[in-house]
Amino acid sequence: MHGRGTLPESSETQIKLPTQETRRKRVYKTVALLEAGDDFGVTLDDRHLHTPGKSKLVTPSRALGEAICEEWDSQGDFIDPGTLPLTRLLNTATDRVGPDPATVISGLLGYFDTDLLCYRAAKPADLVELQSSVWQSVLDWLSEAHDINLSVGAGLMPLTHEAAAHGRAEAFLTGCNVTKLTGVQAAAGLTASLSLGIALVEEKLSGAEVAAAATLDETWQMEKWGEDQEALDRVALLAADMLAVERFLKLSA
């Protein structure tokens, strides 16, 4: 199983969980959709919701605005950031992607030579066949639809793709609007695969299919050797995150 997307284990690593004192308490009572010209915002007790970058959180999509209202209205006594995925994605689009797409694109191209789908197992045969069946179909589509051709190798030896492929990938990303670029960034960050991010925003794969492809190794391992709760949790969390990205893209359209 590939471990490139996991943190190194360390006996010195300490994870501090939020306590009742450190969590952000819900102090608002009402949530409402605010229509401002062609945009829609969210108000908490008549105060406009802002991004971490201090910009007003607005979207031209009524559907997305209503869904974000639902996220905030469903909060309990304390704010749970994990239940605000659409808000987080719109925050990212507003604070990071929109103001500086070039930096986002540069970061995404960093996934190019390390794309998960390009690094295959050498054995056993059934895993090799499974990876080829699921992953190669995505790379074949990427080649046919966008003329982006990626090399494939067995093991973890670094791969290098042709310069023309880099250029076409950059051209594709440059042509994306803020919403799509946000979606690619989120999907690639979750899966360690630029090709899966592109497949999601181009609707070649659904969010569930992207999650399944990204966790193919873990799922195979569990089917072979038995379920592991930590692995199950990781697979479920990634699936939930990918469905949220897919929903963000659809609501923003």
Considering the domain architecture, whether residues 74 and 198 belong to the same structural domain is answered as no
Under 8 Å between Cβ of 149 and 162: yes
Considering the domain architecture, whether residues 133 and 194 belong to the same structural domain is answered as yes
Give me 129's structure tokens: 């066949």
- 39 lies in some domain: yes
- Compute the chain's Rg from CA coordinates: 20
SS3 49: coil
Count of domains in the chain?
A: 2
Considering the domain architecture, whether residues 137 and 214 belong to the same structural domain is answered as yes
Considering the domain architecture, whether residues 107 and 212 belong to the same structural domain is answered as yes
Considering the domain architecture, whether residues 203 and 143 belong to the same structural domain is answered as yes
Q: What distance in Å separates the CA atoms of residue 229 and residue 16, rounded to the nearest whole number?
A: 21
Q: Tell whether the model's pLDDT for residue 17 goes beyond 80.
A: no
Domain boundary residue among 82, 116, 147?
A: 82
Q: Which of 150-154, 228-232, 240-244 has the highest mean pLDDT?
A: 240-244
Considering the domain architecture, whether residues 77 and 193 belong to the same structural domain is answered as no
Considering the domain architecture, whether residues 75 and 105 belong to the same structural domain is answered as no
Whole-model pTM: value is: 0.88
Considering the domain architecture, whether residues 75 and 194 belong to the same structural domain is answered as no
Considering the domain architecture, whether residues 108 and 188 belong to the same structural domain is answered as yes
Q: Would you place residue 22 in the very low, low, confident or very high pLDDT band (cuts 50, 70, 90)?
A: low
- 26 lies in some domain: no
Q: Tell whether the model's pLDDT for residue 9 goes beyond 50.
A: no
Bigger pLDDT: 110 vs 6:
110
Give me 165's structure tokens: 């492929």
**From 30-34, 125-129, 225-229, 245-249, the region with the lowest mean pLDDT:** 225-229
Range of 67's domain? Answer: 31-82
The CATH number that applies at residue 206 is 1.10.3580.10
Under 8 Å between Cβ of 40 and 34: yes
Under 8 Å between Cβ of 125 and 99: no
